[in-house]
Amino acid sequence: MAKKNTDIKKSKGLFAEAMVRLRRNKGAMIGLGIFLVIVLIALLSPVFFDYETDVIKQDYSQVKLAPCSDHVFGTDEFGRDILARVCWGSRASLAIAAIVTVIALTIGAVLGSLAGYYGGKVDMVIMRIMDIFMAIPGMLLAICIVAALGPGTEKLCIALTISSIPSFSRIVRGAVLTVRNSEYVRAATAIGSKDMHIIFSHVLPNGLAPIIVQTTLRFATIILSIAGLSFIGLGIQAPQPEWGSMLANARSFIRDYSYMCAFPGLAIMITILSLNLLGDGLRDALDPRLK
Amino acid sequence: MIKFIIKRLLALIPVIIGVTFMVYFIMSLAPGDPALLLLGDDATPEQIAALREEMGLDQPFIIQYGRYMVNLFKGDLGTSYKTKNAVSAEVFSRFPNTLILAGFSTLISIILALPLGVFAAVKQNSLFDTISMVIALLGVSIPIFWFGLLLILLFALKLGWFPVSGFNDGIKSLLLPGLALAFQHMAAIARTTRSSMLETIRQDYIRTVRAKGLPENKVITRHALKNALIPTITVIGLQIGGMMGGSVLTESVFAWPGIGRLMINSIQGRDTPMVLGCILMFSITFSIINLIVDIVYGFVDPRIKAQYK
């Protein structure tokens, strides 16, 4: 009998199978590769460029130099190396987006799980509050919060976190609703498992697929919002390098020094493109019906 | 259907009250004494106290909010700290410009995206499909403000075909900002249309109409498109929210005299009543557009209509 059992081929599991599908998706792998390179650039920027001397120090003998061997991306109106600033800019964007995503996802997951799992009045109260937040377009809500709190990195984080929570809680609630009435959840309830244990051990892991996909795409949206808010002067403040604020400064010189606008914009686009490719691939891998 | 529309209209009331409450609460956190900001630094403490009392600033928050709401229903959004003019006058005078820009962009994005998405699905895996989906992927990845700057560089500064910014050249002024704002949304709508169309044309009823010998163009236009449009309408509705946020950035790039630019200038000038007025105007418009999208939904999807019969 025991021998017979070992003959049964063990299933890899849905998640492992999805990862196999993801690995076969060229676009997703290209996206993941590009994104990992951007993360590496962000991590290694301090090794290649000193913040004080290369990134923020103004040098009026090197102002507005076109791309050359000394300054591969050229220099800006203060003589600062654009390559160094673009690389350091990735640190700001990725770090803020990561912090915002983690906090907003955690709060959203708790609220969404409670709403989806308990339903009834809990669901109604939480989701009506989220509806009100969602009645204001995300970017405008972030602008509204920054307008009240004032510009700055911490305030930008607060604004983006608050404006991201509703969409995360909706996704998690939806995911929880799809598995809430499954037999294994009912079985766990029947054997007397505590609600929190059921939510975190059974419900959330099984509803993870749409949450992973949306988190990847939301991460891209947050990076775009950071750049957008900094572009209109409400995000990261000078002299700290950030892609959106670099573009805002460069736009005054677009006629004669268009390269100043090219590189920060390209950096944003390539980052978002890589995340979109990865997000699309994850969606195809985790939900094969959509293929 | 009328029951459905009335029900959705009634549901709009708590949303608008909730939105105004939240925006009013957030903006009340802004630092600075409004009375002092209105009167200037030369004002005496007595003058400030008198104005505070007149404006109701000595009252609890909820009373202040109630007062604001009563005034809002009368069309009064307060007085600008900067210009000392009525906020409503400035907001309403600029609002049509934002509507023109957003409306024009929505129109361009739908006109371009629907055929692009439908053809890409019908000719799946063809060169047209690949090229249009690469364009769509670039479209959803490119920041609106950078795309706007690139359009200015090429079509206004290098070729001189369009004005760099402003509002005075009619359709010529509208084309570049409209395109900048439309591109991202066009890409998102095209992607959704393609995937929803792909799903629809694999359905059994499509196979049936094909088996009956109906020409392919009629299969697509009469039978597949209407069903495939439901997710597209959802995305268009969702995109309108993005369009509002995007119009702030586009207006900023092209110096377009709409409420987005007015809002950014007011934030920089710490003109809280003006910022509040602009955000409320955006939010209320967004809620009304969502309502219209819901009603359109009812027309396209008979299942929704049937719920309210």
- Which pLDDT score, from 0 to 100, does residue B238 have? 77
Helix axes A26-48, A259-286, angle to 10 degrees: 140
Greater pLDDT, B268 or B253: B253
Count interface pairs A-B at CB distance under 8 A. Answer: 133
Whether CATH 3.40.640.10 fits A14-290? no
Closest-CA distance of chain A to residue B171, Å: 23
State whether A231 and B249 contact (CB < 8 Å).
Answer: yes
- Which pLDDT score, from 0 to 100, does residue A1 have? 46
Q: Which chain A residue's Cα is nearest to B142? A: A269
- Which pLDDT score, from 0 to 100, does residue A10 have? 64
**Which residue from A114, A141, A90 is spatially nearest to A271, judged by alpha carbons?**
A90
- Are the C-beta atoms of A39 and A93 separated by less than 8 Å? no
- ipTM of the prediction: 0.86
Name the B residues in 258-287 with CB < 8 Å from any A CB.
Answer: 263-264, 267-268, 272, 275, 279, 282-283, 286-287
Q: Which chain B residue's Cα is nearest to A291? A: B195
- Which pLDDT score, from 0 to 100, does residue B309 have? 58
Of A146, A232, A265, nearest to B143 by CB-CB distance is A265
Tell me the C-alpha to C-alpha distance, in Å, between residue A286 and each of A15, A19, A60, B8, B199. 8, 8, 53, 35, 17
Tell me the chain B residues in contact with residue A249 when contact means C-beta distances shorter than 8 Å.
Answer: none
Q: Please give the angle made by the CA atoms of A147, A153 and A154, to the nearest 5 degrees.
A: 85
- Which pLDDT score, from 0 to 100, does residue B259 have? 92
d(CA B167, CA A115): 47
- For B135-161, what is the mean pLDDT? 91
Using the Cβ of A288 and the Cβ atoms of chain B, whether some distance falls under 8 Å is answered with no
Q: Which residues pair with A75 in a beta bridge?
A: A81
Q: Which residues pair with A81 in a beta bridge?
A: A75
Has residue A234 got a pLDDT over 80? yes
Report the percentage of chain A scoring pLDDT > 90.
32
Closest-CA distance of chain A to residue B14, Å: 9
For tokens 């090429």, name the residue: B154
- Which pLDDT score, from 0 to 100, does residue A271 have? 95
For an interface test with B, which of A162, A223, A229, A232 has the most B Cβ atoms less than 10 Å from its Cβ? A232
Quick one: pLDDT band at residue A18, thresholds 50, 70, 90? confident
Using the Cβ of A276 and the Cβ atoms of chain B, whether some distance falls under 8 Å is answered with yes
Q: What is the dihedral of CA B197, B202, B207, B208, to 10 degrees?
A: -80
Greater pLDDT, A272 or B288: A272
Of A227, A228, A272, nearest to B141 by CB-CB distance is A272
- Which pLDDT score, from 0 to 100, does residue A290 have? 47
DSSP state letter for A234: S
Q: Which residues pair with B79 in a beta bridge?
A: B86
Q: For the segment A112-130, what is each residue's pLDDT rounded down to a tens digit?
A: 989 988 888 888 899 888 8
State whether A265 and B146 contact (CB < 8 Å).
Answer: yes
Has residue A5 got a pLDDT over 60? no
The b/e string for A64-73 (b: 16+ C-beta within 10 A; e otherwise) is ebeeeeebeb
Has residue A288 got a pLDDT over 60? no
Name the A residues in 147-166 with CB < 8 Å from any B CB.
Answer: 147-150
Lowest mean pLDDT among B1-10, B56-65, B123-132: B1-10
Name the B residues in 129-168 with CB < 8 Å from any A CB.
Answer: 137-138, 140-146, 149-150, 152-153, 157
Greater pLDDT, A255 or A35: A35
Tell me the chain B residues in contact with residue A258 when contact means C-beta distances shorter than 8 Å.
Answer: 153
Number of H helices, E strands in chain A: 13, 0
Name the B residues in 238-257 with CB < 8 Å from any A CB.
Answer: 241-242, 244-246, 248-249, 252-253
d(CA B239, CA B43): 47
Residues 6+ apart with CB under 8 A from B132: B116, B117, B119, B120, B190, B194
Has residue A145 got a pLDDT over 50? yes
- Are the C-beta atoms of B87 and B78 separated by less than 8 Å? yes
Q: Letter for the amino acid at B286?
A: F
Query: Does residue A288 have a cis bond before it (omega within 30 degrees)?
Result: no
* Residue ranges covered by each domain of chain A: 14-290
Closest-CA distance of chain B to residue A191, Å: 39
Using the Cβ of B13 and the Cβ atoms of chain A, whether some distance falls under 8 Å is answered with no
State whether B252 and A231 contact (CB < 8 Å).
Answer: yes
All domains of chain B, ordered by start, with CATH? Answer: 14-73 (no CATH), 89-308 (1.10.3720.10)
Residues 6+ apart with CB under 8 A from A163: A133, A138, A139, A141, A142, A145, A225
- Are the C-beta atoms of A143 and A234 separated by less than 8 Å? yes
- For A147-167, what is the mean pLDDT? 90
d(CA B241, CA B236): 9
Q: Which of A99-108, A188-197, B220-229 tops mean pLDDT?
A: A99-108
Of B22, B140, B248, nearest to A232 by CB-CB distance is B248
Has residue A289 got a pLDDT over 60? no
Of A137, A247, A269, nearest to B149 by CB-CB distance is A247
Using the Cβ of B125 and the Cβ atoms of chain A, whether some distance falls under 8 Å is answered with no
Closest-CA distance of chain B to residue A200, Å: 30
CA atoms within 13 A on the CB side of A50: 4
Name the B residues in 188-247 with CB < 8 Å from any A CB.
Answer: 195, 241-242, 244-246
pLDDT, averaged across chain A: 86
Greater pLDDT, A82 or A287: A82
Q: How far is CA B212 from the centre of its chain?
A: 43
Lowest mean pLDDT among A31-40, A265-274, B23-32, B134-143: B23-32
Has residue B300 got a pLDDT over 80? no
Using the Cβ of A143 and the Cβ atoms of chain B, whether some distance falls under 8 Å is answered with yes
Of B21, B137, B145, nearest to A273 by CB-CB distance is B137
- Which pLDDT score, from 0 to 100, does residue A9 have? 63
Of A135, A268, A290, nearest to B18 by CB-CB distance is A135
State whether B287 and A137 contact (CB < 8 Å).
Answer: no
- For A221-227, what is the mean pLDDT? 93
Residue A87 — φ and ψ, nearest 5°? -65, -45
Has residue A229 got a pLDDT over 70? yes
- Which pLDDT score, from 0 to 100, does residue A275 have? 92
Has residue B185 got a pLDDT over 80? yes
Decide: residue B13, CB within 10 A, 0-12 exposed, 13-18 middle, 19+ buried: exposed
Provide the whole-model pTM: 0.87
Tell me the chain B residues in contact with residue A251 when contact means C-beta distances shorter than 8 Å.
Answer: 149, 253
Number of H helices, E strands in chain B: 14, 0
Q: Please give the angle made by the CA atoms of A124, A125 and A131, to the nearest 5 degrees.
A: 80
Has residue B217 got a pLDDT over 60? yes
Residue A206 — φ and ψ, nearest 5°? -80, -15
Has residue B30 got a pLDDT over 60? yes
- Which pLDDT score, from 0 to 100, does residue A282 have? 87
State whether A147 and B245 contact (CB < 8 Å).
Answer: no
Residue B86 — φ and ψ, nearest 5°? -70, 130
- Are the C-beta atoms of A284 and B162 separated by less than 8 Å? no
Quick one: pLDDT band at residue A286, thresholds 50, 70, 90? confident
Closest-CA distance of chain B to residue A151, Å: 10
